[in-house]
């Protein structure tokens, strides 16, 4: 007998329909044949499924059984298909009597006992089920809680193969998961779980630059000797970032769901992502990819922060692949298995030393680096990449007086309030467009919203000539000046705003300190 169950396969952060076709009672030697481009994890499902069937009180098929995962040209990976395969076998052997099995979208891994385990990509599956008009979605554990965040599709949690069979056959009722309840049950970090800026001593100029950068979602590079607090500052940036909107929230969760971070408990549900890959990270791990392309670090940092500590230590090739995603906010990856486009609108925060030893310009330590060494060190970061970083700020070493001070710095709360007020002005300015922050302004929007008079134009021209800045740097100075004006609640860019924006180009100067 033939039975068909609907499931899904992940393609990037989206899901595609997969029909699990089970045919039993074929003539020949009793065995199970699995076809449809399965990977090793899918091929191993027959052992899990047979054990789960036996331990749940059902009879495995005793005839030749063929399982086809259609379409055959789409690669299948992971343990998504254990539960639909088991249900298909039961329907084909008439141990499950249920009408309209094809109206459900089902996925889940099975343990040998028949209990279900979560799978990644639940949000993508929920969106697919809604798009196809499915009757509902059957998923295990936290995967079902995650899928319930998508409104417009009925989601049910099944904790075992037995309960799934009894629900589909009408023997029991399962509660439909509600969108609001699911949001409340999912793990949250809470503002008290984030490191606070009150722990940062001194570094007033650096704190100001960070506030400007976050207010306009600008990329930021911190330059300073070891121990000046660059990493401490970077790790506290999420505490001053505005909470993501519901749309941003679902985008973030979709990416992390596809990467499996939600079911592993790594992902909290109320904070923007903060990714800090080691400088040995490969191009593929940073950009995304693999045999079946998936999200990399830049996509996992979508709507959040990508922190690159010791920037010159990263491979040149890894840094250069960032250039196009930083401009476009998405990345297209082509592999033999297909081509996918992943979102990656992240805020880049980077840190570096002024020289290989780290002490160039430090009054307390002697720098022993020669001019050639310093030049080679700085040359590891290309000019085009530096052009795409809006703010370069120096982080000098702290004095003993500052280190011994018991007076706390300004906390994250008032900084976040000022940033939220600035972001509200930007949202109003860009209402009706896809732009949400000053850093993402198009060339036409820069001319419209960053207009300056002739006096300021002459001032900016003089700075451009003295610092030998590129046309891209010209636009970025205007964007930063617009953000500074927003923080000051000014309608137009004025001289103090422009001068402050110009001085955030430290690496364009010959000397740091």
Query: How far from the centroid of its chain's Cα atoms is residue 257's Cα?
Result: 10
Residue 20 structure tokens: 């699990």
- Distance between CA atoms of residues 64 and 28, nearest Å: 6
Choose among 481, 186, 436: nearest CA to 303: 436
Percent of the chain surpassing pLDDT 90: 58
Please tell me the predicted confidence (pLDDT) of residue 20: 95
Give 181's pLDDT tier (boundaries 50, 70, 90).
Answer: low
pTM: 0.86
- Based on its alpha-carbon atoms, the radius of gyration of the chain, rounded to whole angstroms, reads 27
Average pLDDT over residues 106-110: 95
Q: Which one has a higher pLDDT value, 469 or 506?
A: 469
Residue 290 has pLDDT above 90, yes or no: no
Please tell me the predicted confidence (pLDDT) of residue 183: 60
Reading phi first (left if > 0) and then psi (alpha if -120 to 50, else beta), residue 507 is in alpha
Q: Which residue shows structure tokens 């001070």? A: 405
Residue 191 has pLDDT above 50, yes or no: no
Dihedral angle, C-alpha 464, 466, 470, 476, nearest 10 °: -50
- Phi and psi torsions of 365, nearest 5°: -130, 145
pLDDT tens digits, one per residue of 476-503 = 999 999 999 999 999 999 999 999 999 9
102 within 8 A of 66, measured Cβ to Cβ: no
pLDDT-wise least confident of 229-238, 408-417, 446-455, 464-473: 464-473
What domains are defined for the chain? 2-185 (3.30.230.10), 191-428 (3.40.50.300)
- Phi and psi torsions of 507, nearest 5°: -75, -5
Those residues with Cβ within 8 angstroms of residue 341's Cβ, 6 or more apart along the chain or in another chain: 12, 330, 331, 332, 333
Residue 228 has pLDDT above 60, yes or no: yes
Q: Which residue shows structure tokens 């290309």? A: 382
Choose among 159, 165, 139: nearest CA to 57: 165
Element (H, E) at 163: helix 161-168
**β-bridge mates for residue 110, sequence order:** 116
Residue 119 has pLDDT above 70, yes or no: yes
Please tell me the predicted confidence (pLDDT) of residue 188: 56
């Amino acid at each position: 007998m033939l039975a068909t169950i609907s499931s899904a396969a992940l393609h990037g952060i989206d899901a595609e329909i997969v029909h699990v076709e089970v045919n039993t009672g074929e003539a020949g030697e009793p065995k199970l044949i699995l076809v449809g481009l399965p990977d090793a994890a899918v091929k191993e499902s027959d052992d899990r499924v047979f054990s789960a069937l036996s331990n749940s009180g059902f009879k495995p098929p005793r005839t030749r059984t063929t399982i086809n995962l259609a379409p055959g040209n789409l690669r299948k990976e992971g343990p998504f298909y254990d539960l639909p395969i088991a249900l298909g076998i039961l329907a084909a052997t008439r141990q499950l009597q249920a009408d309209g099995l094809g109206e459900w979208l089902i996925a889940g891994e099975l343990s040998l006992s028949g209990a279900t385990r979560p799978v990644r990509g639940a949000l993508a599956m929920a969106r697919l089920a809604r798009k196809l008009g499915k009757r509902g979605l059957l998923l295990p554990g936290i995967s079902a809680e995650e899928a319930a965040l998508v409104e417009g599709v009925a989601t049910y949690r099944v904790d075992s193969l037995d309960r799934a069979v009894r629900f589909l056959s009408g023997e029991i009722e399962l509660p439909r998961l509600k969108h609001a309840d699911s949001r409340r049950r999912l793990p949250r970090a809470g503002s008290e779980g984030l490191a606070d800026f009150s722990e940062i001593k001194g570094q007033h100029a650096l704190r100001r630059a960070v506030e400007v950068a976050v207010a306009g979602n600008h990329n930021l590079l911190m330059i300073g000797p070891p121990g000046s607090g660059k990493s401490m500052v970077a790790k506290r940036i999420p505490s001053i970032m505005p909470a993501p909107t519901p749309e941003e929230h679902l985008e973030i969760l979709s990416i992390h769901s596809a990467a499996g971070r939600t079911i592993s408990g790594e992902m909290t549900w109320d904070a923007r992502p903060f990714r800090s890959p080691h400088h040995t990270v490969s191009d593929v791990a940073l950009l995304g990819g693999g045999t079946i392309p998936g999200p990399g670090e830049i996509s996992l940092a979508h709507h959040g922060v990508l922190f690159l500590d010791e920037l010159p230590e990263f491979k040149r090739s890894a840094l250069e692949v960032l250039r196009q995603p930083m401009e476009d906010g998405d990345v297209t990856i082509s592999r033999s298995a297909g081509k996918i486009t992943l979102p990656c609108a992240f805020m880049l925060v980077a840190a570096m030393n002024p020289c290989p030893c780290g002490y160039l310009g430090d009054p307390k330590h002697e720098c022993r680096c020669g001019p050639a060494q310093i030049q080679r060190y700085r040359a590891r970061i290309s000019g085009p990449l530096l052009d795409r970083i809006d703010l370069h700020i120096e982080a000098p070493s702290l004095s003993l007086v500052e280190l011994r001070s018991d007076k706390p710095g300004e906390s994250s709360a008032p900084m976040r309030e000022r940033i939220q007020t600035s972001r509200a002005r930007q949202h109003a300015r860009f209402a009706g467009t896809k732009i949400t922050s000053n850093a993402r302004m198009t060339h036409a929007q820069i001319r419209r919203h960053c207009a300056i008079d002739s006096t300021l134009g002459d001032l900016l021209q003089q700075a451009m000539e003295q610092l030998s800045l590129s046309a891209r740097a010209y636009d970025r100075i205007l964007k930063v000046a617009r953000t500074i004006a927003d923080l000051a609640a000014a309608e137009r860019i004025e001289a103090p705003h422009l001068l402050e924006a110009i001085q955030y180009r430290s690496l364009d100067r010959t000397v740091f300190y």
